[in-house]
Amino acid sequence: MDAARPDDNRGQQENLTGAGVLPERPALDREALSDANFLASTGIAQLTVVETTGSTNADLLRAVTVDPQACPDLAVLTAEHQTAARGRLDRAWEAPARSSVLVSLVLRPVNADGRPLPTQTYSWLSLLAAVALRDALDETAGIPAELKWPNDVLVRGGKVAGILAQLGPLGDGSVPPVILGTGLNVTLTEDELPVPTATSVQLQGAGTVDRTALLKSYLSRFCTLYHSFCNADGDATAGLAGGPSLHKRVETAMVTLGQQVRAQLPGDHEIIGHASRLDDSGSLLVVDASSHEHVVTAGDVVHLRPWSPQGSEKHGAAKHGAGKHSSDLHSSDMHSSAEHSSDQQGSGESGYA
């Protein structure tokens, strides 16, 4: 999720442009989030709301490390404010209290027979979350969203949310857990955005900025897709929740595909080419000028555009996860930098932790 300056004047009212006063920022509705029907319909095992913490991802990662049985599948932790959140590459960020949806889940993926999913399927989990959030923004807030590989959500070119998946400890014989964190900018004003190319739900003229409604909508959609994905043994090409496959949903929503990109790989290597498609693990395939196809799995990807004369209209481009040396989970890194032949969309920390 994107960084923002601390809220120094929470008692003031806000407007939609970020000029002058700040918005009202009510607390999450804990009663609505703990509603038995909501929890039963989603399969959420437990849902905890805290006023402030360092990092919800770090809290859950610590919990499953200290006691591997402490958090069941679909244990949820959400916070009103984080003080030590970290994105990918250990970048720090902070947003005003009650301005964002900050939520992490423990995932222990098994199929309907209780058989663990292969860990190589875990790379799809952040993409699944991005699809769920995109759908929630469309259906609950009435704003269009797109995905940037591998796990960032944009609205009209501005980054509104970031997702970070972290693999928990292995070796005790239990299903390896994944901690999946999502940060969504909800009521950040223009003055609070970390860079001009970030955005928030409010700034996009959404039908609602009710964080409880947005959180419930996201969790409901995520859980539906997650259960279907698990019951398909993590097969991203199988139909999902009575509709298209996860692979198809991601490709349909992903703005990265079809772009000219620069993939910055570990060891100061880079590839420039055409982002053609996703492979069966959700990795990005980039075809270079010699028609060689590269598999990009983690690191940075910058969207490029052809050079145009100074003063002509620019179109955004952004950094995303790229690389040839993969970990178990895709991750994304976006921060503000641009070159003469490219500029950036959705800047700021893309990872959430």
- HSE, CB side, 13 Å, CA atoms: give it for residue 300: 20
Architecture of domain 30-251: 2-Layer Sandwich (3.30)
Maximum distance among all Cα pairs of the chain, rounded to whole angstroms: 60
Ranges of the chain whose pLDDT falls below 70: 1-21, 85-94, 299, 305-353
Pairwise CA distance, residues 138 & 123, whole Å: 24
Pairwise CA distance, residues 113 & 9, whole Å: 52
Tokens representing 33? 């989030």
Pairwise CA distance, residues 246 & 199, whole Å: 26
Q: Is CATH 2.30.30.100 the classification given to domain 256-320? A: yes
In the chain, CATH 2.30.30.100 covers 256-320
Interval 142-180: pLDDT, tens: 999 999 987 889 999 999 999 999 999 887 777 889 999
Query: At which residue do the structure tokens 């901690």 appear?
Result: 179
In the chain, CATH 3.30.930.10 covers 30-251
pLDDT of residue 316: 32
Specify the 3-state DSSP secondary structure of 171. coil
pLDDT of residue 85: 65
* Three-state SS annotation for 79-94: EEEECCEECHHHCEEC
pLDDT of residue 14: 39
Four-CA torsion 69, 70, 76, 82, nearest 10 degrees = -130
**pTM assigned to the model:** 0.82
Interval 121-138: pLDDT, tens: 999 999 999 999 999 999
pLDDT of residue 76: 98
- Residue in 161, 183, 188 with CA at minimum distance from that of residue 5: 188
Which element (helix H / strand E) includes 153? strand 152-155
pLDDT of residue 33: 98
